[in-house]
Structure 1
Amino acid sequence: MSAGSVLGGDLAVAEAAFAASRGLFDRVAARMQSVDAGALTHSQLEEVLGSDMREVTRQLYQDHLRLRELTEQREPEVVDAKGVQRTRIERGRTRKLATVFGKVEVGRMAYRGYGVADLHVADARLNLPEDMHSHGLAKLAAIESTRGSFADACERINAFTGAGIGHRQVQELAIGAAADIDSFYDALVPAPATDATVLVISTDGKGVVIRPDSLRDATAKAAAAKGGNAMRTRLAAGEKNNRKRMATLGTVYDAESAPRTVDDVIADPDAAAGDRPREPGPKARSKWLCGSVADCAAETVAAVFDQAEARDPGHRRDWVVLVDGAKHQIDLITAEAEQRDANVTIVIDLIHVLEYLWGAAWCLHGHTDGVLAEAWVARHARALLTGNALDVAADLDKQARAARIRGAKRKGIDDAIGYLTNKAEHLRYDTALANGRPIATGVIEGACRHLVKDRLDITGARWGLSGAEAVLKLRALRTNGDFNTYWRWHEQQEFTRNHLARYRDGLILAA
């Protein structure tokens, strides 16, 4: 290695800077040559080398930082964002940095002025974080916090890095890691699609157990109205219903039109079984998920429409909104569409509607007549798929009268009649099938299960608002497949916030 190929151009300085890591490596190599090492099993060798080489790597990192400190050259002019020049320097200023290899010390030059904070150009060149934990540790915290509890994440990070990081620090790093997700998606250019590609929107909600100080006002008041809990080992009646805050999730995806018939969705129970292949439904692609515990449902719906407009700013595509039928949800979607002058087709999830038909079926069939009830549901579902929701509702009432079912015994039928009548305009499955649109909310239902239930609803979890929001956004980010791209963006935003914004005219960019 020539002198010109090392930092500062002084080979002797570089050699001296790395003396400690070379000595450590030589000791590890000597240990591996020893008789004692020859008696170790392969797993024992893995454990020994894992520990020893982590320390060698940490020392290499430390030695590199030391070489940077020794070779740092004074900048001719350092001026802060307010135009105040730093006229003096002080060498040997140090700060701690916890990395994925262990803790190190960063020595650098401080640029000083009268009555102003010191500036450290070397910190900017290294893009050091504001606190002591490296971006590498923050990235691990972000990933591991989405997989399991913060306690488990802490254990895994420490086992992998030996960093000695604490539970609260992992949570704080995860919260900081999610800080730029919204701005990242605001700047992200969606994948292109043709005007013939169906644009699908869907939203849903899932409750998350939240600490009392983070409940929404209405929920907190309901919980307070129940009074104190005299029992020490379990929740009192009513408390279980007033300890959750609703997380609203949304998705936008593209789907090529796939026209189908009724037979492609539900087979005729009165026809002989045949070998006719079913046409597949529309396949989701370029899926984008979002979610929030902090924002209200209206804000999440607006974010979903923002994503839809980014994909189709001219509103030339066929916009389909899949919902589970909740009135509040439909009202928010309708209001948002009207505000943006977007023509949307709202379709209620077929599976959700089938539950009402099953409720009616059990009023007419005993619970031991499952086969007959299934065929009955299939016939009425096929009628729904032809767009005859009101006719189906009328037929249910007719059957109940004929069977002389009255009062509470026909509740399932009355519920189905009311639902089909009130939601008829959103049950035009005949049009949806003919136009190749999806008719089920499987994508958002799966998101609720994956993003919320599998992590935020784990046994015993009770969340603070900031932690729940961060984990939900990070899980959505990873599900979208955007984590690595986002992380590069996030580190650039950290650089801008922590360093670039402190200097006039981006001085350190040219350094």
Structure 2
Amino acid sequence: MPTSSTNDAFSASHSRFEQVCSFIGGETASSLTHWELETKLSVDVRELVRQLYQDHLDLRSSREERLVDVIDAEGNRHTSVEAGHTRSLQTVFGEVSVTRLAYRRRGKDNLYLGDATLNLPEELHSHGLRELSAIESARGSFEEATEAIRRITGVGCAKRQVELLAARSVVDFEAFYENVSRMQGNQGEVLVLSVDGKGIVMRPDALRPATAKAAGKATAKLKTRLSRGEKHNRKRMAEVGAVYDVTPVIRTPSDIIGRETDTERAPAPKAANKWLTASVVDNAASVISAVFDEAHRRDPEHRRTWIALVDGAKHQIDCINAEAKTRGVKVSIVCDFIHVLEYLWSSAWSFFSEGDSAAEARVAEKALSVLRGQASTVAASIRRKATCLGLDPRSRENADRCANYLLAKRDYLNYRQALEEGWPIASGVIEGACRHLVKDRLDLTGARWGLNGAEAILKLRALRSNGDFDEYWRFHLDRERHRVHEARFAHGTIPLAA
């Protein structure tokens, strides 16, 4: 049973509750529609809860015990204790004030054990508001997040403040994944690593040096919009990585390129336990290293088959090979077959007019040959046909580009082995990740991103996609307690009352 002193501490809350009850039972409430009643109660109940919050904080303040021996991280004793130090806290229910004891020493910052006990943030806004800012910012624009927070809580936050809170919320992203444990997959499952990039339109101060230099040289053609080629020099590449498990499904080339009348085709291997990461700050090598870290968590003894699905970018392939060598793990690199198909289709227009159905049969024939491990032969046949037809350099440009690609990537076009081993050969997972993590949120019309804001959104969307946000948030709050509070005391430990 609550004591009389406890009841006294919550007298303001009792008074507020009685006001709500009085209104609900009065004639004014009886004349309201249900929507008007909901609107009125949502405000009144939020204020009631805010008052309960305030009364609780005041009760804690009245019960706070003075400690004799409080030592800071530098070994200084704070022997002077002063009551009545108050700070504000903006919560999801509204603003409250926190009153606590200050442990003082001349020339040193005050220590507040009450702040440490509550794990208060350094800034005005509570961890609850920061969490809400993180969730809503990852879903839609910062303007939409600001409106959502106001609608949900009644608290007004500026757009810039929401962006800063979201950025602050992901400071422990890398540390979280360094400490997280993973269930090791079945040894028979294939471990797939995949990387790709997607450009984000950035503000001038957030571009990489080379891009900023190119943008500075570009001459604007129009005042109201970017012309062709200008937008390219306003983008910074976001590197995206994925790791997932696949149960092998043995297939044949005809399962990939078959006729419409074929009814029985082996299904493509399905991705499971997908994990995503992305960064617009880190380069491709750093993101690939993070991808290898996740793969190692799943298979620390390297007993499983590791494959890397890429689109053929040389820098990515070089980084994967270097990382695999450093870690002493064998990784089979496979170029995305969809990219190969695009090159084959492009080469077809060197020999056929647009829309000619004969082009489809030729592309299918060449694609089957590539799937059978004959990429070099296909490249030679494309060049030979272009020569035999006497095509001029411009007409045969697409054909030569395709042949060059097939020859340059032939070591990574071993689809025959991939199909026999049951590996995936298309990078749909990483393509989907680029769309979900980057395009759907950061490619909004007219958006120009700063570096911190873009990086925060990428990490928040990755956490949510991975299903790790709730676990991350608990980890983040523990780290905040250490950073903001525990690290200020001797031995990194908050002293407790005897």
Structure 2 equivalent of residue 257 of structure 1: 248
**Residue of structure 2 equivalent to 1:53:** 45
Which residue among 250, 271, 274 is the counterpart of 1:284?
271
How many percent of aligned residue pairs carry the same amino acid? Answer: 52
Relative to the length of structure 2, the TM-score reads 0.96
Post-superposition offset of 1:404:
4.4
Q: How does 1:204-223 map to 2 (within 5 A)?
A: 204-223=196-215
Does 2:417 align with 1:431? yes
The answer to whether the aligner puts 1:26 opposite 2:13 as a matched pair is no
Task: Report the 3-state secondary structure (helix = DSSP H, G, I; strand = E; otherwise coil) of the residue aligned with 2:394.
Answer: helix
Contact 2:184–2:297 (Cα < 8 Å) also in 1? no
Letter in 2 for 1:473: K
1:78–1:507 Cα contact (<8 Å) kept? no
**Structure 2 equivalent of residue 366 of structure 1:** 353
Is the aligned partner of 1:92 residue 2:79? no
Partner AA of 1:232 in structure 2: K
SS in 2 for 1:364: coil
1:238 Cα deviation after fit: 4.2
- 1:84-132 CA-to-partner distances (Å, cap 9, x unmatched) read 2221211111100000000000111111223322111111110000111
- Kindly tell me: are residues 422 and 505 of structure 1, through their superposed partners in 2, closer, same or farther at Cα, counting changes over 3 Å? closer
- Tell me the amino acid that sits aligned with residue 115 of structure 1: G
Partners of 1:122 and 1:144 in 2: how far apart?
Answer: 30
Pick the aligned partner of 1:323 from 300, 310, 313.
310
Name the amino acid aligned to 1:100.
V
Name the structure 2 match of 1:15.
7
Residues of 1 paired with 2:358 and 2:13: CA distance? Answer: 77
Distance verdict in 2 for CA 1:507–1:314, change over 3 Å: closer
Q: Which amino acid aligns with 2:405?
A: Y
Match of 1:275 in 2: 263
Instruction: Report deviation, 1:499.
Output: 0.8
Partners in 2 of 1:352 and 1:423 — Cα distance? 11
Instruction: Kindly provide the amino acid, as one letter, of the partner of residue 340 in structure 1.
Output: R
Residues 1:174 and 2:166 are matched in the alignment: yes
For 1:144 and 1:133, the matched residues in 2 are separated by 15
- C-alpha root-mean-square deviation of aligned residues, in Å? 1.7
Q: Does the CA-based 8 Å contact 2:130-2:169 persist in structure 1? A: yes
| Structure 1 counterpart SS, 2:317 | helix
For 1:341, which of 328, 344, 358 is the aligned residue?
Answer: 328
Equivalent position to 1:484, from 470, 485, 490: 470
The SS at the match of 2:242 is strand
C-alpha displacement of 1:248 = 0.6
- CA offsets per residue over residues 213-236 of structure 1, 9 Å max, x none? 111111111112225x48532335
Q: Aligned partners of 2:263, 2:457: CA distance in 1, in Å?
A: 47
Q: How does 1:381-400 map to 2 (within 5 A)?
A: 381-400=367-386
Partner Cα separation in structure 2 for residue 223 and residue 497 of structure 1: 40
Please show how residues 102-141 of structure 1 align to structure 2 within 5 Å. Answer: 102-141=94-133
Q: Which runs of 5+ in 1 are unaligned?
A: 3-10
* Structure 2 match to 1:6: none
**CA deviation digits over 1:394-432, x for unaligned, max 9?**
232343345444432222221111111111111110100
Asked whether the 8 Å contact 1:145–1:153 carries over to 2, the reply is yes
Q: Please say which of residues 134-143 and 147-156 is displaced more in the overlay.
A: 147-156
Q: Is the 8 A contact 1:268 1:379 kept in 2?
A: no
Indicate if the aligned counterparts of 1:260 and 1:279 stay in contact, CA closer than 8 A.
yes
The answer to whether the aligner puts 1:159 opposite 2:151 as a matched pair is yes
Could you tell me how far 1:195 is from its partner in structure 2? 2.7
CA gap of 1:287–1:274, structure 2 versus 1, over 3 A, is closer
Read off the aligned partner of 2:142 and give its amino acid letter: F
Give per-residue Cα distances to partners, 1:119-150, cap 9 Å, x unaligned. Answer: 11111110000111100000001111111111
Query: Displacement, 1:201?
Result: 0.7
The answer on 1:234 being equivalent to 2:225 is yes
Structure 1 window deviating more from structure 2 (234-243 vs 139-148): it is 234-243
Any conservation in 2 of the 1:191–1:286 contact (CA below 8 Å)?
no
Aligned equivalents of 1:223, 1:206: Cα separation in 2:
18
- Return the alpha-carbon distance in structure 1 between the equivalents of residues 388 and 218 of structure 2: 46
Counterpart secondary structure, 1:63: helix
CA contact (8 A) 2:134 2:165 kept: yes
The Cα shift of 1:505 comes to: 3.4
Residue type at the aligned position of 1:426: Y
Please, which runs of 5 or more residues in structure 2 have no aligned partner?
A: none
Which of 294, 309, 333 does residue 307 from structure 1 map onto?
Answer: 294
Q: 2:175 aligns with which of 183, 204, 220?
A: 183
| 2:280 pairs with 1:293 | yes
What code does the residue aligned with 1:255 have?
V
Structure 2 match to 1:354: 341
Could you tell me how far apart the structure 2 residues matched to 1:507 and 1:408 are?
73
What is the alpha-carbon distance in structure 1 between the residues aligned to residue 201 and residue 61 of structure 2? 49
Paired residue type of 2:427: T
- Bigger drift between 229-238 and 180-189 goes to 229-238
Cα 1:406–1:262, aligned 2, differ >3 Å: closer, same or farther? Answer: same
Separation (CA, whole Å) in 2 of partners of 1:459 and 1:391? 45
**Partner residue, 1:454:** 440
How much does 1:313 deviate?
Answer: 2.6
* Counterpart residue type for residue 111 of structure 1: Y
Q: Is the 8 A contact 1:18 1:60 kept in 2?
A: yes
2:59 to 43, 53, 67: 67
**Alpha-carbon distance in 1 for matches of 2:79, 2:401:** 79
Question: Cα deviations across residues 319-356 of structure 1 (Å, max 9, x unaligned)?
Answer: 10100011222122222222222211110001011001
Q: Tell me by how many angstroms 1:507 deviates.
A: 4.2
Q: For residues 264-316 of structure 1, what are the alpha-carbon distances to aligned partners after superposition, in whole Å with 9 as ceiling and x for unaligned? A: 222147xxx2432x222222122111111111112111221222222223222
TM-score, length-scaled by structure 1: 0.94
2:91 and 2:206 mapped to 1: Cα distance? 33
Q: Which residue is 1:377 aligned to?
A: 363
- For residues 204 and 493 of structure 2, the distance between their equivalents in structure 1, rounded to whole angstroms, comes to 48
Residue 434 of structure 2 corresponds to residue 442 of structure 1: no
From the superposition, tell whether residues 207 and 274 of structure 1 become closer, same or farther in structure 2 (CA, over 3 Å). Answer: closer
- Structure 2 residue matching 1:110: 3-state secondary structure: strand
Per mean C-alpha deviation after superposition, the further-off stretch among 124-133 and 191-200 is 191-200
Q: Distance in 2 between matches of 1:375 and 1:405?
A: 21
Q: Aligned pair in 2 of structure 1 residues 493, 440: CA closer, same or farther (>3 Å)? A: same
Letter of the 2:347 counterpart: A
Aligned amino acid, residue 258 of structure 2: A
Q: CA deviation at 1:358?
A: 0.7
Per-residue deviation, 1:509: 6.5
How many angstroms apart in 1 are the aligned matches of 2:179 and 2:262?
51
